Structure 1
Amino acid sequence: MSRFERQHILPEFGTSGQKKLKKARILVVGAGGLGCPALLYLAAAGVGTIGIADGDTVSLSNLNRQTLFGYGDLEKLKAIAAGEVLNQKYPDINIETINEYLTPDNILEIMEKYDLVLDGSDNFGTRYMVNDACVLRGKPLIMGAIYQYEGQVTVFNYGEEPVNYRDLYPVPPSADEIPNCSETGVLGVLPGIIGTLMAAEAIKVISGLGKVLANKVLFYDLLNSGFYEVSLKPNLSSGKNIPENEVAFRNTDYNITCGVVEKITWENALHWTCQAENSIVIDIREPNEEPEFSSHTILKIPMNDLLKDPGILEEVDTVMLFCKSGQRSMQAAKELRQRFPEKEIRSVEGGLQHPSSPLNNQNNES
């Protein structure tokens, strides 16, 4: 008896639909609130190869909605943790983990071998970048998004007269138009619903089942239990905003954030230095500044020197900055992000004064 028996007996799907799923290669961008349910149901349905692209680690606040993870996964890389769960549940599925953030420099090569892309990212910069990459490579794109009690899903770059994300939102919002990422909030069930709908559309695209949600946006209102659709048409003026070739794409600045520099805990910062390639932690305090602290895994470059000559950052992908209290590192991270929009540059929360800093751990041990 096959684990797909209940799918085989479905009219219009059958064994032919199952074979199409088995041959399919789907890339899921982001193993977060949207990505987790999408990944689970794609694997359960029998999609042959699933790529998971995410460079983030699991934190405690993720657990209300990122249901592939639990307390035992805290601080693990999300792509690896999600892959472990799926491999254990469905060993007949090929899981490929991409343990890094997608950038204009790597996304085109990464997505080349996949048939379809699901974007479950939580920021505008990644959405525009993934959309433009899919247009350049001719890949169907299923995108989901949530905001507080509302969610939406659509299929871009598919069918006759296909539309893309820029037909819906031609110009990215400015930083002051984006809500503070840490204040919007979410009930975990909402991304679960939207992520599951994304998986359903992916299965339909691959198998040819039913009517795909192309050139339409499906909205869901959790508070009022309502669904409604909005039809889309190609926007002739939006095409000018899409890079016309690979060179232009790689030179496009997709750094669109909510205007707040992302912080990182000491635990996650030190985890990155041990587990991830091309990452560094920099002490930006002045020479001989108290309290004294040194480590062979941490560079010492005063803030002004780093801002004047940030060349050391050219060869790394992820940068963590710290100072005494976290204030100067926030300012330095903000300035460096403007110069290196393609890099992950974060401020270590609380600096050396934070209770979880290595300095306090050294003092406790002594």
Structure 2
Amino acid sequence: MEQSQNETNLSSEEIARYARHISLPEIGIKGQEKLKTGSVACIGTGGLGSPLLIYLAAAGIGRIGIVDFDVVEYSNLQRQIIHTTNSIGLLKTDSAKQQILKINPSCRVDLFNQKLTSSNALEILRSYDVICDCSDNFPTRYLINDACLILKKPNIYGSIARFEGQVSVFNLKKDSPNYRDLIPTPPPQELIPSCSQAGVMGILPGIIGTIQAAEAIKIITNIGYPLNGRLLIFNALQMRFKELTLKSKKENRNINKLIDYQSFCSEVTVKNEVACDIQGISTKELKILLSQSSKEILLIDVRDQNEYNQCSIKGSKLIPLSTIESGEAINEIKILTAKKNLYVFCKSGKRSLRALKHLNKFGIRGINIEGGIEAWNKATIN
């Protein structure tokens, strides 16, 4: 039997604020009370964390924990809607708390202005009912996953890239799938473009983060059918959703301690590099070399046309990685390197390393410019 307003722990102001929730039979006063006493930890206050935190605060979640150590930059504002132009330079946690309290002053907001690590994850996440993974890198995702397994906490996962996003609920029940069932081993780091490299449609994290918030509300109020054992994939260009079924494997649930996740995620890269040794050069060394014998050097930029148009190294030639891997540019590079020494760069050094490994298969040797255009620009400024 549904509680009456006279029997509730909600104040008259809260009853007015959450009237549209309370009018839903699936939520009602009892469900709203669960939201009030519920707690959610959000790891990451960027594109996914922004809409998630806004809607959780508006929904009346009583306690929200935010874990992040980054500061707000101009490039964040295109998609990280919890931050404003006035937030530039602030810690993201502080900026997010300001907005949350503007939306709902009664919400308790715990700030953890630090990186989530194996040494602090269990302590930070232990006291929250639901954990939301709004991170943007593989080491943190594996860390959150394993901490949730140890603590027996549901893990609401979200991920975005370019025009596509994913959402799932891991570890909801004893036999539920977890992140290791989706991605058993981390991919090589050089194959993973960052958000700044690949780009992301600004609205996309809003859609995915909002779905994560919906899953958190459903879990806390115990209504509906969460994405347990299901991976929801959204493509913004096609405006389509599709769903994949995830199966749980017992061996992926046997986690009883946290490890060094940076090392865990770099093992594949290290193994690949051992198999294919690529020589590297620093940007400072390259500058000296160019000043002495630039005619003997061929500089190839393997980024995309759009990145090249924004900035590149003077005298470099654009040959995108995609044309190297497809084989389209191999003959051209063979001709260009006949009488010159090859130096390859990208944004940070990952795609150029990938390009050189592929070129090695065709007998083309070259040197990787470590740190890419980012290191080159820093060296120029300094």
Asked if TM exceeds 0.5, the reply is: yes
Look up the equivalent residue of 2:215 and give its one-letter code: E
Residue 197 of structure 1 corresponds to: 211
CA distance in 1, matches of 2:62, 2:194: 38
SS at match of 1:21: helix
Bigger radius of gyration among the two: 2
Deviations 1:296-348 (A, max 9, x none): xxxxxxxxxxxxxxxxxxxxxxxxxxxxxxxxxx99xxxxxxxxxxxxxxx99
1:296-335 equivalent positions in 2, closer than 5 A = none
Residue 52 of structure 1 corresponds to: 66
Alignment TM-score, normalising by the size of structure 2: 0.66
Over aligned residues, Cα RMSD in angstroms? 2.4
1:70-219 equivalent positions in 2, closer than 5 A = 70-159=84-173, 161-219=175-233
Look up the equivalent residue of 1:188 and give its one-letter code: G
CA distance in 2, matches of 1:87, 1:229: 35
1:14 aligns with 2:28: yes
Distance 1:166 1:250, change over 3 A: closer
Distance 1:238 1:88, change over 3 A: same
SS at match of 1:154: strand
* Structure 1 residue 11 displacement after superposition: 1.4
CA distance in 1, matches of 2:251, 2:174: 18
CA distance in 2, matches of 1:180, 1:43: 29
* Structure 1 residue 3 displacement after superposition: 0.4
CA contact (8 A) 1:123 1:256 kept: no
Distance 1:180 1:97, change over 3 A: closer
* Structure 1 residue 213 displacement after superposition: 1.2
Deviations 1:71-125 (A, max 9, x none): 1111110011100111122101111111111011111100111111001101111
CA distance in 2, matches of 1:68, 1:145: 18
CA distance in 1, matches of 2:50, 2:376: 27
CA distance in 1, matches of 2:262, 2:85: 36
Look up the equivalent residue of 1:191 and give its one-letter code: P
CA distance in 2, matches of 1:349, 1:43: 43
SS at match of 1:108: helix
CA contact (8 A) 2:64 2:108 kept: yes
Residue 37 of structure 2 corresponds to: 23
1:228 aligns with 2:254: no
* Structure 1 residue 50 displacement after superposition: 0.3
* Structure 1 residue 155 displacement after superposition: 0.4
CA distance in 2, matches of 1:352, 1:252: 30
More helix by share: 2
How many correspondences in the alignment?
267
Structure 1 unaligned runs (5+)?
260-284, 286-329, 332-346, 358-366
SS at match of 2:109: strand
CA contact (8 A) 1:65 1:188 kept: yes
Distance 1:9 1:124, change over 3 A: same
Distance 1:140 1:251, change over 3 A: same
Counterpart pick for 1:43 among 35, 57, 65 = 57
* Structure 1 residue 353 displacement after superposition: 5.3
Deviations 1:109-159 (A, max 9, x none): 001111110011011111011001100111100000011111110000013
1:240-279 equivalent positions in 2, closer than 5 A = 242=255, 244-245=256-257, 249-253=258-262, 256=265
CA distance in 2, matches of 1:215, 1:113: 25
CA distance in 2, matches of 1:214, 1:352: 48
* Structure 1 residue 238 displacement after superposition: 3.1
Distance 1:112 1:349, change over 3 A: farther
* Structure 1 residue 250 displacement after superposition: 4.4
* Structure 1 residue 164 displacement after superposition: 0.4
Deviations 1:19-69 (A, max 9, x none): 000001110000000000000000000000001110000111100000011
SS at match of 1:234: coil
Counterpart pick for 1:65 among 49, 66, 79 = 79
Alignment TM-score, normalising by the size of structure 1: 0.68
CA contact (8 A) 2:140 2:261 kept: no
Look up the equivalent residue of 2:97 and give its one-letter code: G
SS at match of 1:64: coil
CA distance in 1, matches of 2:375, 2:189: 22
CA distance in 1, matches of 2:219, 2:76: 30
CA distance in 1, matches of 2:43, 2:219: 17
SS at match of 1:80: helix
CA distance in 2, matches of 1:16, 1:137: 26
Look up the equivalent residue of 1:29 and give its one-letter code: I
CA distance in 1, matches of 2:159, 2:17: 31
SS at match of 2:77: helix
SS at match of 1:125: helix
